[in-house]
Amino acid sequence: MRPIGFVIYEDVALLLHNYLPNGTLAQFLHDPTKISEYEPDWPTRLNIATGVAEGLAFLHHVAIIHLDISSGNILLDADFKPLVGEIEISKLLDPSKGTASISAVAGSFGYIPPEYAYTMQVTAPGNVYSYGVVLLEILTTRLPVDEAFGEGIDLVKWVHSAPARGETPEQILDARLSTVSFAWRKEMLSALKVALLCTDNTPAKRPKMKKVVEMLQEIKQN
């Protein structure tokens, strides 16, 4: 999302953006004040997930890596079309390496790819991981970090360890959505497979964002 202007007053600098009435994806998913007015919204969520994937695929196409992909940095316009915020803190990739160096671990807690901690390099696969966390949020309506998961367990580990707990994929999904219809449940399970691929612990095994877009579009078409 591009700023439309800026304001500098003394030692304060502000970027100006168009007003987006539906706030952030984090608010859309987790705002407790909206629970009473909640309505099942899987098609909206799938459109948001696809739109974010398309935005990141474009950034990667022009060799730009986003440094802080999170539901709090995804803004929703009046029609719930997603806009990826904080583009101004992105990095250009070194075309010869496919990476960019950082001086400190970049990103929001719960979304940071595990490899960033020891490589200090941001990469396209790292962005894919962070996107996968967002997609898991959309599917489960759970925060990326929650004490309910247990000590040292985040959303990614909680989802990936479901089989070991004897839980089915259906039990991971937000039941308010997955139980509405067979079609919704089928689409959500397909999207869950995409999220699991994106959050694979091995960067080389994660799909490219372009492939993620194709998989989500196929879910919508089927």
Which residues have a catalytic role annotated?
Answer: 68
Residues constituting the chain: 222
Angle in degrees, CA 178, 156, 52, rounded to 5 = 70
Name the nearest CA neighbour of 209 among 76, 56, 7, 6: 56
Q: Whole-angstrom Cα distance, residue 45 to residue 201?
A: 25
Residue ranges of E strands in 34-77: 64-65, 74-76
Beta carbons of 110 and 85 less than 8 angstroms apart: no
> Strand, helix or coil at 81?
coil
- Side chain identity at 47, as an amino acid letter? N
DSSP one-letter string for 83-107: EE--GGG-EE-BTTTTEEE-SS--S
Beta carbons of 128 and 57 less than 8 angstroms apart: no
